[in-house]
Structure 1
């Protein structure tokens, strides 16, 4: 079939197989436009096409589909950068310096912008709690566009702090057309449950196959299997999409 690659005001068409790997399409674009593969981002209807999948994993793609191409710089990330700080029901953006700002100064900036108590903040990045107040943000691996998740500790006896108790969330797991003919499965779990626990539940229910590789996506972002539903911001009635394959980019 033929697809159209569109980049700003420029577009061109190419012939592809119905099961062509996304990575192969990027290789063709690199050949045609001399754009490095690791600088390319391909999207359809705001869904990013993942290197570990192929066209057949995206049922919306058919003959004459327009795929949007955007590029990103491969230069070294500057020290000055903008990050997103995510709370349970809101997000804010904060400018930081990766070399001079520390976890402590980041908490102070969040307090100034949002009024959140510094003592009650627990900040998480890439699924792990940031605990060293004097370690620079660059040492944590934070870069432009990174997302910091804020959990609010609740005061217990003796002034100790505890994380909010787990709560049940009801979500819908939507599989790709190649899995169970695109099954839509209601799932109820604690929001502290990890994605790999949800995978095991789906295997037990016969929706997924033990030992196979799968990609879980929530709100157009790949989910980390070692992180909780709460960490990913999953709420009641949210959809989680499952595709068969692996992530070959080495990042989330």
Structure 2
């Protein structure tokens, strides 16, 4: 490389000198090593400390540019362990075989059973050795191994609105009564009637009972 001249300030640092070399000569700072009087100049030192004077000759050593290569870090993935489970369904005497990944959850196992048997997930109950399996647990956490047998049961369907209505008014505070007026024979259906002082429950009035209405009053006595 041919000698060249650059102008520096008295308080410029060695790093600033390297920046000027990079600017005017195109040599990257990372590849520059400056030597003066057989000493390597440190980046944080300035011209005064290095005793660089007018027309001082500084040797520059240019390191080789590292070869560029595409390095890809490869990590060995943990082996995927798959096991075969035997599902004993309520409606079948022959267990159903299903291959699963031990890192799957019980919830995912239920999803696969749902896709095969068309049973809603919220009605599926999986049990192993008498213990119900939780949806959020992983298969390998449940102690399941190759050809473990799982009991699959189905919860009853929740009652519908119509079945609830047909079951009567259990739990309701309403009573349907038939009122028989004193002056006639026609029974009048009455609903939601409560005594001012006592409730129908207190008087042991039950669903479908008949009460009579009469003119007059009732006085106390023994």
Question: TM class by shorter-chain length?
Answer: 0.3 to 0.5
Could you tell me the TM-score, scaled by structure 1's length?
A: 0.31
Higher relative contact order (CA 8 A, sep 6+): 1
More strand by percentage: 1
